[in-house]
């Protein structure tokens, strides 16, 4: 009988050893830190449609022991449950932490954009922040059916993209990005804002187009309502806007060269026959010349009521402008500005 119990006891001890070894192995595989960096975070971007092999290679660059990571992924069923998205691996994470992260913790990105002159520029800017490439985004933005359904044109649809900070998942599709921007646009145009636009006989898109000119004319937020007031006065009296930023835009668009930097508008530029040249054509251009800040849009809707019709850069208060009620006063201000800029040797 004693011999029998010794055998049983021996088997139990062997079993306990095996269990201990197994438990230790499982613990090391699942719960031992396995990252190969000690500071910051490691960003993993898993593309839409990626299989396990693709995802594993992206994740494995952040770990020390790839075999243990793979074993954990297999045991937790990740190999059949890969999800696209942006995932952040923290220093000291275990394999269990890592697999849990890439299974369910898709972290949004903060998408920002401003001062985009064209849809092409906007698409390129967004493509650097979310998954779709610039061509896919551009095709979505220009989709004829979308434009027709929502009353936009290729020229004015840029007005739909109001600069702000947004949260998107990295794997957001081009159409989803576009549709969410439309949703924000519609929310921005409240009944009160639409009423203010109607009061100056403008559509929402026309307000944003004028705001884009105001945005380009002055970077000073406190001056924008005054500048907007000048343009509203001109529109109300049938006077051309004569806005230099539209001439610059027209020149860039005519020459298909938006990389050129134009610091000074020449007299010959004013004669360029182009729909965006407000020295030639009355009213606002066909569309925005840039994505204006919200402050510029508000400046148009809440423009300052005054009797100014002209303005020119103020050489005594840089960044601001001198305003004039009549042409003779403006000509004197403009002559002083031309003398100053010539002294700076700015030819273009």
**Per-residue pLDDT tens listing for the chain (348 residues):** 566 655 555 565 565 555 544 544 554 566 689 999 999 999 999 999 999 999 999 999 999 999 999 999 999 999 999 999 999 999 999 999 999 999 999 999 999 999 999 999 999 999 999 999 999 999 999 999 999 999 999 999 999 999 999 999 999 999 999 999 999 999 999 999 999 999 999 999 999 999 999 999 999 999 999 999 999 999 999 999 999 999 999 999 999 999 999 888 888 999 999 999 999 999 999 999 999 999 999 999 999 999 999 999 998 898 899 999 999 999 999 888 888 877 776 555
* Structure tokens, 59: 């994740």
Q: Which residue has the tokens 């606002």?
A: 284
Q: Which residue has the tokens 């100053």?
A: 340
Alpha carbon separation from 114 to 121, 174, 212, 290 (Å, rounded): 10, 18, 11, 8
Q: Which residue has the tokens 């004013």?
A: 270
Sign of CA dihedral 323, 326, 327, 332: negative
């Amino acid at each position: 009988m004693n011999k029998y119990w010794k055998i049983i006891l021996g088997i139990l001890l062997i079993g306990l050893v095996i269990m201990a070894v197994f438990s230790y192995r499982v613990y090391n595989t699942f719960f031992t830190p396995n990252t190969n960096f000690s500071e910051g975070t490691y960003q993993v971007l898993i593309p839409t449609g990626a299989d396990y092999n693709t995802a594993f290679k992206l994740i494995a660059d952040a770990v020390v022991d790839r075999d243990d990571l793979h074993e954990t992924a297999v045991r937790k069923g990740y190999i059949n449950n890969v999800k696209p998205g942006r995932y952040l691996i923290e220093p000291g994470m275990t394999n269990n932490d890592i697999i849990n992260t890439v299974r369910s913790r898709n972290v949004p990105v903060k998408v920002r954009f401003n001062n985009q002159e064209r849809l092409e520029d906007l698409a390129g800017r967004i493509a650097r922040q979310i998954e779709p490439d610039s061509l896919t985004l551009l095709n979505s933005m220009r989709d004829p059916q979308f434009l027709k359904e929502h009353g936009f044109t290729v020229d004015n649809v840029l007005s739909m993209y109001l600069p702000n900070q947004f949260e998107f998942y990295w794997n957001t599709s081009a159409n989803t990005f576009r549709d969410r921007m439309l949703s924000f646009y519609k929310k921005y145009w409240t009944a009160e804002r639409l009423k203010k636009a109607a009061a100056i006989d403008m559509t929402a898109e026309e307000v944003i187009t004028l705001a884009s000119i105001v945005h380009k004319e002055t970077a000073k937020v406190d001056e924008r309502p005054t500048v907007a007031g000048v343009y509203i006065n001109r529109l109300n009296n049938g006077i051309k806007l004569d806005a230099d930023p539209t001439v610059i835009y027209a020149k860039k668009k005519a020459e298909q060269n938006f990389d050129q930097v134009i610091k000074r508008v020449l007299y010959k530029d004013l004669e360029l026959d182009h729909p965006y040249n407000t020295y030639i054509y009355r009213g606002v251009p066909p569309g925005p010349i840039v994505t204006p800040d919200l402050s510029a849009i508000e400046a148009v809707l809440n423009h300052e009521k005054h009797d100014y019709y002209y303005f020119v850069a103020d050489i005594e208060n840089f960044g601001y402008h001198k305003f004039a009620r009549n042409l003779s006063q403006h000509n004197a201000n403009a002559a002083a500005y031309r003398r100053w800029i010539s002294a700076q040797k700015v030819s273009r």
